Amino acid sequence: SDKKTAAAAAAPVQIEDDRTGLSVETLKRAFADNLFYIQGKNADIATLNDYYMALAYTVRDRLLQRWLSTIKAQLKPEVKVVYYLSAEFLMGPHLGNNLVSLGIYDQVRQAIQESGLNLEELIAQEEEPGLGNGGLGRLAACYLDSLAALEIPAVGYGLRYEFGIFDQEIRDGWQVEITDKWLRYGNPWEIARPEATVEVKLGGHTEAFVDGAGRYRVRWIPERTIVGVPYDTPVLGFKNNAANTLRLWKAEAPESFDFQAFNLGDYYGAVNAKMYSENISKVLYPNDEPLQGRELRLEQQFFFVSCSLQDIIRRHLYVGGKLEDLHNSAAIQLNDTHPSIGIAELMRLLVDEHNIDWDTAWQITQNTFAYTNHTLLPEALERWPLSLFGSLLPRHLEIIFEINRRFLQEVSAKFPGDTGRLARLSLIQEGPEKFVRMAHLASAGSHAINGVAALHSELLKRDVLRDFYELSPEKFSNKTNGVTPRRWIMLSNPELAFLISESIGDGWIKNLGELRELERFANDKEFQSRWRQIKLNNKTNLAEYIRKRTGLVVDPHSLFDIQVKRIHEYKRQHLNVLYIITLYNRLKQNPELEITPRTFIFGGKAAPGYFMAKLIIKLINSVADVVNNDPDVGGRLKVVFLPDYNVTFGQRVYPAAELSEQISTAGKEASGTGNMKFSMNGALTIGTLDGANVEIREEAGEENFFLFGLTTEEVYALKARGYNPRDYYNGNPALRQVIDQLASGVLSSGETHLFAPLVDHLLNRDEYLLLADYQSYVECQDRVGEAYRDQEHWTRMSILNSARMGKFSSDRAIREYCEDIWGAVAVDVVLEEYVQATA
Ligand code: CR6
């Protein structure tokens, strides 16, 4: 060791060693340094959070070189960049994921252990950035992961909400919403770039004028101006040199403007104006499949889109591009209609601010934008009242009228005299109250339109966007959703990842199709038993977590039957509950009955204003109270509602699941992505032919999938015939008993009125056809219970499910977007030498 010391003295530590070195020794020293110099603490007074922060900065140091090198490699005129515009990015905690991407999980674990701490505990300290509601926001996060993994130049643009999706607590069985203060202790993963601030105008009016060249122009005189400050988060590629950027905008007041122009001497008023401006990025609207549109929401949408487009144009001009060629260096993807105001905003920027003629501007716009639709629910299609829209965005309304005038002219040329079609296609919905139809704006202004699963894309062409399909069939394609195997297998299910890599090598992490090679182990007794043991370990971990969070004790040897997702009537959590009550009734009638012991686990948030969804949460908890405490049940059934379902909790749940509930009414779920995470981790699916379930079943094989329920066609036909839920109620004694129990109060401590709205809805309307699908669901669930008794066969099905889920990697999805829609290709990133600051 004398030699070592001498060697160290001879080669003095360089500054970059402590900031980039990856040996356990260097990591330990950097960690201790950051605790002292960044957190300002030493071991005597450091909290767990201080340790987390010190580690986060240690890891951040180690990704900056990749990030800056990537930016440099991409800042070239010939490079095409994908800009993913999304109101939501549900990233999940960064620390663990970045360790996986950098390939330093093991060294860091050891360094932390040798520092007397536990890595998993530090990872658990991170407040997850909950900047999304559910599938749509999480999809955006998986896509950023895959874009970086594939070295595709990309920027995610969105809003830096100060408060993300609310934290959920359950009190007396009801959901209570708590503000999500995720920024409370600071966010080590973001870097503010105030020098790249942009201005955004709102309100006011427009004026026509003739410019120096004699051209007719319009200028927008806004009522107020706000500024957007970008906050950047590097998004690492998996074990490569690429790190793309997630750029989120924070709204601020341009103080000078307010102080001088409006609030001379009125300090209070000036501060008030500042608060008003900052409101725009204050809070995420907590509606999945948005139900109501408020003015602030439109302000949010326009704000982040305008900031982003100005940023894109600035970058394009900076590398020497011409605006006429924007589509050669930029592919802008609209994640649903939330950013679709971008179509009108790009037209305004090009025509009004950059003096480009209308036809050229429209060409550029159409060639640059593409639109993904994420819903078939008619009530979720965004439309803005014309009055609201015009008062906030007067110039954009004019532009939309002009787009519409020209667009309808084209339609007339193609379908002469078809006035019905004109009305259906118009960007404006006529009537006593007029609306701007955002899906129409997005469709008209994009060169590509896609759905998110094969069935969904077909239904788009047939129903929701039928007229657009007939007008421009070449715009339409399908891009089935995918999820990243890095977060959803490697990080969340490390034991399974280890077994897989040991058996077939680790190529699957970048090329998920290779999982197919697991098929040859499906009948291997030894492999099966290791597979089962890993599942049991994951179930035991989840059971422990359930005990900590709820006090409930569940048996890890029971069948873990899980439904986690937003609470929504179309997702039919209450159909699941009808089966639980049915099983309960059977046991009450015959306590000796042999049944497969099951633990039903639910998780999910309800939109705060969605009464029926909140009542379903109360229902689950009421049924849990009855079932869990009845001695006749003898612990054979357990019902758990786990509060505050989020990405972090998802990482615990998917690896522990044996049965995945995907039971939406056929034709309602656009795709689903949880369904993919479950089966990758070896759960079997009980599901309808809806969304991506169809393709999951196709891949897994129908013998490895529990199918039930009406098909989309049958749903349409039944509704067309006139659906009467009472027919099913009257014709099915077991169903009648369950519904009567809901109405009678036996499940709600005698409160007969509690579930009346639910019963009333089911018996008189039942929009989502629970009663029609009840019998089929019950029979299918009974088959599941039977199948579980043959553990060998079950394990075989489980292995085959994982083995055949390669298609559902987000890498596959991103490759398809790149080839068919974006025309984007990988750019090699060469790591730049660390550059010392020079005077
Ligand atoms: N709620 C769909 O409902 C789909 C995701 C991502 C949704 C869901 O089936 O998997 O998008 N739609 O494509 C919207 O958010 C509008 C969702 O998450």
Q: How confident is the model over 181-225, as pLDDT tens digits?
A: 999 999 999 999 999 999 999 999 999 999 999 999 999 999 999
Host H or E run for residue 714: helix 712-721
Say if CB 123 and CB 278 are below 8 A apart.
Answer: no
* Confidence band of 650 (pLDDT split at 50, 70, 90): very high
pLDDT value of residue 744: 93
pLDDT value of residue 837: 47
| ipTM (interface predicted TM) | 0.98
Pocket test for ligand 1, best of 86, 289, 610 (most atoms within 8 A of CB): 289
Q: Report the largest interatomic distance among the alpha carbons of the chain, rounded to a whole angstrom.
A: 94
- DSSP assigned state of 216: E
Q: What is the pLDDT of residues 521-547, one digit of tens each?
A: 999 999 999 999 999 999 999 999 999
pLDDT value of residue 752: 85
Structure tokens at 143: 């896509």
Q: Provide mean pLDDT across the span 313-322.
A: 97
Tell me whether residue 475 is one of the annotated catalytic residues.
no
pLDDT value of residue 4: 52
Chain-centroid distance of CA 674 in Å reads 10
N-to-C CA span, the chain: 39
- Give the integer Cα–Cα distance in Å for 288 and 135: 9
Residue nearest to atom 6 of ligand 1 (CA): 136
pLDDT value of residue 727: 98
In 3D space, the residue among 570, 581, 542, 576 whose CA is nearest the CA of residue 558 turns out to be 542
Domains of the chain: 77-93+128-481 (3.40.50.2000), 493-808 (3.40.50.2000)
Residues 6+ apart with CB under 8 A from 558: 596, 597, 598, 599, 636, 638
Atom of ligand 1 nearest to the CA of 691: 9
In 3D space, the residue among 271, 199, 185, 184 whose CA is nearest the CA of residue 230 turns out to be 199
pLDDT value of residue 262: 57
Sheet holding 706-707, edge to edge: 637-641, 598-603, 559-564, 659-662, 684-687, 706-707
pLDDT value of residue 401: 98
Give backbone dihedrals phi and psi of 85, rounded to 5 degrees, phi first.
-90, 120
Q: What is the pTM of this model?
A: 0.97
Which amino acid appears at position 14 of this protein? Q
Which amino acid appears at position 749 of this protein? S
List, as one string, the DSSP characters of 268-304: HHHHHHHHHHHGGGTB----SS-----HHHHHHHHHH
Say if CB 147 and CB 244 are below 8 A apart.
Answer: yes
Pocket of ligand 1 (CB under 6 A): 134-136, 139, 288-289, 336, 374-375, 380, 452, 481, 669-673, 691
Residue 336 C-alpha to ligand 1 middle, in angstroms? 9
Tell me whether residue 673 is one of the annotated catalytic residues.
yes
Instruction: Evaluate if residue 348 carries a pLDDT over 80.
Output: yes
* Confidence band of 2 (pLDDT split at 50, 70, 90): low
pLDDT value of residue 291: 62
Which residue reads 């674990």 in tokens?
A: 109
Structure tokens at 3: 């030699």
Residue 691 C-alpha to ligand 1 middle, in angstroms? 10
Q: Provide mean pLDDT across the span 607-626.
A: 97
Residue 677 C-alpha to ligand 1 middle, in angstroms? 15
Chain-centroid distance of CA 523 in Å reads 36
Q: What is the pLDDT of residues 677-732, one digit of tens each?
A: 999 999 999 999 999 999 999 999 999 999 999 999 999 999 999 999 999 999 99
Residue nearest to atom 8 of ligand 1 (CA): 672
Q: What is the CA radius of gyration of the chain?
A: 28
The 10 Å Cβ neighbour count of residue 223 is 12
Given the residues 396, 487, 565, 697, select the one marked as catalytic: 565
Half-sphere exposure of 720 (CA within 13 A, CB side): 6
* Cα dihedral sign, 679-684-688-694: positive
